[in-house]
Every structure is written in C-alpha cells, then in structure tokens.
Structure 1
C-alpha cells in the first residue's frame, strides 16, 4: 500500500517538474536565440517479486524440506524527470534594423549534432557561449550583451566599437574605424553536451570538453547577419498541448493517490473496530 503512495507521488512530482520546464519555454518564446528545453522521463529501477517457500521431498529418514523460489513478475516503483536538455535547432530570423543586433546562422557543419555560438565573457571573467545576438554598446564603447557581458573577438578580447555605427560582414568581421575585428565564434561538435547557466549563457558539460574555434575547423560554414535576430525555437502551440497532456497525467496520479488514501483510511478504521 505504501509503495503505491510512493509511485503515485513520484508521478506527480515528475509531471510538476515537466510543467515548470514547459512554462519556462513558453515564457521565453520571444527571447532571441532561446533554445527550448526538452524534459526526459525515466522510470525508477523495477523490483523483481519472488515467492519464497519450501517443498518437502520424501526420504528414508522421513523427509527433506528444500527451499523453493517462484518468480511472480516485476513491479514498477515510479518515474522521475531525469533532466531538461536544450533542443539545438535554428530559430527563425527577423530583421530589426538595429546595427548592434547580430544573427548567427549555421551553415554546413561536419557533425550532425554540431552547433555554433558567440563567445562572451561572464561577470567572473570566464568565457561562455550564447546564441542571443541582441547586443548593445556600453558607456565605454564596448560591444556587450543586454546583461552587460563583453562580446569577445577571435582572441577572446572585448570588442571596442566606439559607438553604434559599425558594419559586420557575413563572415563575422567587424569594420570599426578602418580596422577589422573578427567575432569570436565557438563550435561544439555535440551541442547536447552544452549546459545552460542562465541569462542565455551556455558552458560545456562534463562530457563536452573545451570548445573549438569555429574558424579553425575544416567544414564549418556559417553566416552572421547584421540588423537581424535569431528568434527562439519554441513552438507555443506544441508547448501548450504538451502542458495540457502533462496536467492530465498529473491529475491521474492525483486521483490514484486519493484512492490509496481512502483505502488506507478504511483499513485503519476497520482495524480499529476489530480491536
């Protein structure tokens, strides 16, 4: 009986976490470069039930009892949401007319799961990656993200633009005051290894290893478009449909938990009467 409580409760918790993931996706449907999270469910290890008993075998001494085990089958112990994995696919492009807006388009890549990122510097001075090209220029003339993180060049140095007027070629080269500066672009051979850090930043996971300079890898093609932004890859309609299905599953587990509770209450009351 108590195992049934745990199974139903684990289903409710897993679906609650899935709802939170879907809600976050919908909330970021208009965030440039946002990649939707895909929740993955996994079952807890199953229990193998066996009946243990004994069988008496006649012998000259009167009999011998031998242990006997009979397999009854497996018992599921519930589910949990294992992780939320970003879905790395290209979002739709839209023109903004702002010179500081940059959209990164993946071209032909040597790896099926490969993906490209802008290099930026987080508040601790570490290099991180982003797909959100909604940049601006700070008071010191440096190109930054909306959170104030420096956008880095090919040498992982902040980019000085001295204002909002600059041109960016399709190969990611900035023309500033007669000089050319290359945008720092990172390449991940397996984007599924990238981990979200918040504020649109990514970092390689434990299995991802250091990222490579996209300009130094054969077969990597890309395009940078100025005055444009890459939208999120969230499908609001699909996300809403999945939220409704998740809510129905939550309700089913809730009803099962209520049924267990009523059975337990009836058992306790009946046992009390027998006493």
Structure 2
C-alpha cells in the first residue's frame, strides 16, 4: 500500500518539474537565440516479483522443498533525470538594426555539433551565445545587451567606434578601415553546454570532451552571418502549450491515485482495524 503512495507521489513531482521546464520555455519564446529545454524522464529500477512457496514430496519424512517462480517486474516510479537544450536552427526575424547579427548554421559535421558567438562575461571568462542582439557601449566596443563584450577570432574585444559598421556574410566586421573576424566558436557536442541565463552558455564537458574552438579552423564547418536580423527562439508555442496540458493531466491523474490510496488507508485504520 505504501509503495503506491511513493509511486504516485514520484509521478506528481516529475510532472511538476516538467511543468517548470515548459513554463520557462514559454516565458523565453521572444528571447532571441533562446534554445528550448527538453526534459528526460526515467523510471526507477524495476523490482522483480517472485512467488515463494513449498512443494511437498511423498516421502517417509514428508519432505518439503522451497519453490520460487518468477511473476514479473514492477516499476516503482518515475523522475526527471535531466534537461537538455535543443540546438535546432530557428527562423530569422529581420530587424533592420545594424548591431543585430544572426548566426546561421551551414555544414556541421558532428551530429550534436553547435556554433556560437563568443563573448566575455564580467569576470573575464569566455561564454557562448546564439543571441546576436548586440549594441555598442560608450567606449565603442561591441557588447551584448547585458554588457558582455563580444570577442573576435583572437579572443579580443571588438572596437567599432560606433554603430556604423558592416558585417559580411562570412562573419567579418568592417569598421574604421579594419576587417575583424567575429569570434565564432564550434563544439562537436553542444549537449555539454550549460545554460547561464540571458541565452548564454558555458562549457561543462567531461574529461576528453572538446571545448569550443575557433569554427574557422575546423574542417567541414561552415556558417553565415546576417546583419540586421536576429535568430528567433526555437520554442513552438502551440506544441509547448499542448505538452503543458498533457503534463497537467498526468499530474492530476497521479493526484487522484494518491487520494484513492489515502481513502483506502483511512478505511483500513479507522474501520477495518477498529477494536470492538
């Protein structure tokens, strides 16, 4: 009986976590370059159920032998194992603003490969983003809307001298008579990237995983940039709302099961187990 409590409760907790992920996706539907998260559900290890009985043998001493037969397995619940962002290319939105730059995937040789703009956070550490909603600060450096510096191919800050500059399709920023390649990074396994807010990512790969490198130095990798446009988020609002409704129904179903167990326990304690 108590096992049923835990199974139903685990289902409710898993769907609650799934609702949080879907709600966060929907909240960032208008964030440029946002990559939606997908939750991975996993069942707890199965429990093997066996029937244990004895068989009497027609002997002088009336010998009994233990007999065990397999009934089957039983699952004890479910939980959300992890959430991973999906790095599918989203549609572009034309803004006509010169500081907006969209990054388009070309050829990516690895199945989970990903391309990113390289930026520098306030601690001077490299971070990665698909959000090309850039601006120029008071010193003439190209930055994100949150103030992180956009880096070039050499890992240096980009001086534009103002908002009047040109970006070619191959990611070369032309300003002040100089041509500066934007820092476009490539990782062969984007699933190792960790979200940090504002559509930014850090690399948290395990030992042996390749950290993001200069995409221009990776054989087979191609990309394009488009000035005056932004990549939309890859959140499908209709699909997300449908998944939220499905998750709510599953939560509600587990809740009803939990209430049924509660009524059964109440009857067992207060009626069946009553001492007369």
Query: Do the two structures share a fold, i.e. TM-score over 0.5?
Result: yes
Matching residue of 1:187: 186
TM-score normalised by L of structure 1: 0.95
Contact 2:108 2:221 in 1 (8 A): yes
How far off is 1:182 after superposition? 0.9
Q: Distance in 1 between matches of 2:66 and 2:138?
A: 82
Matches within 5 A, 1:199-214: 199-207=198-206, 208-214=209-215
1:240 alignment partner in structure 2: 241
**CA distances 1:7-56 after superposition (whole Å, capped 9, x unpaired):** 00110111111111111111111100001111111111111111223333
Which runs of structure 1 show a deviation greater than 3 angstroms over 4 or more consecutive aligned residues?
A: 56-60
Counterpart secondary structure, 1:105: strand
CA distance in 2, matches of 1:191, 1:171: 22
Q: State TM-score, norm by structure 2.
A: 0.95
Question: Who is 2:16 aligned against?
Answer: 16
Which position in structure 2 is the counterpart of 1:169? 168
| 3-state secondary structure, aligned to 2:274 | helix
Shift of 1:59: 4.2
Distance 2:176 2:81 in 1: 51
- The question of 1:158 aligning with 2:157 is answered yes
Alpha-carbon separation, structure 2, partners of 1:156 and 1:231? 26
In 2, Cα distance between the equivalents of 1:215 and 1:204?
A: 19
Asked if the contact 2:5–2:261 (Cα under 8 Å) also holds between the matched residues in 1, the reply is: yes
Cα distance in 1 between the residues matched to 2:130 and 2:250: 34
In the alignment, the residues of structure 2 paired with residue 73 and residue 105 of structure 1 have an alpha-carbon distance, to the nearest angstrom, of: 51
Aligned length: 274
Q: Where does structure 2 lack aligned partners over 5 or more consecutive residues? A: none
Instruction: Establish whether residue 140 from structure 1 lines up as the match of residue 139 from structure 2.
Output: yes
Per-residue CA deviations over 1:190-242 (Å, capped at 9, x if unaligned) read 22222212221112333443112100012111111111100001110111111
Question: What do residues 157-202 of structure 1 show as CA deviations (whole Å, max 9, x unaligned)?
Answer: 1111121111111111111211111111111222222221222111
Larger displacement relative to structure 2 (31-40 or 119-128): 119-128
5 Å-filtered alignment, 1:112-131, equals 112-131=111-130
Q: For 1:57-68, what aligned pairs fall within 5 Å after superposition?
A: 57-60=57-60, 62-68=61-67
1:109 matched to which residue of 2?
Answer: 108
> Is the contact between residue 117 and residue 130 of structure 2 (CA under 8 Å) also seen in structure 1?
yes
Quote the offset at 1:79 in angstroms. 0.6
Report the equivalent of 2:91.
92
Shift of residue 98 of structure 1?
Answer: 1.3
User: Residues 97-149 of structure 1, C-alpha deviation per residue, up to 9 Å, x if partnerless?
Assistant: 21111000011222233221000112222111100000111122211111111
SS of residue matched to 1:274: coil
Give unpaired runs (5+ residues) of structure 1.
none
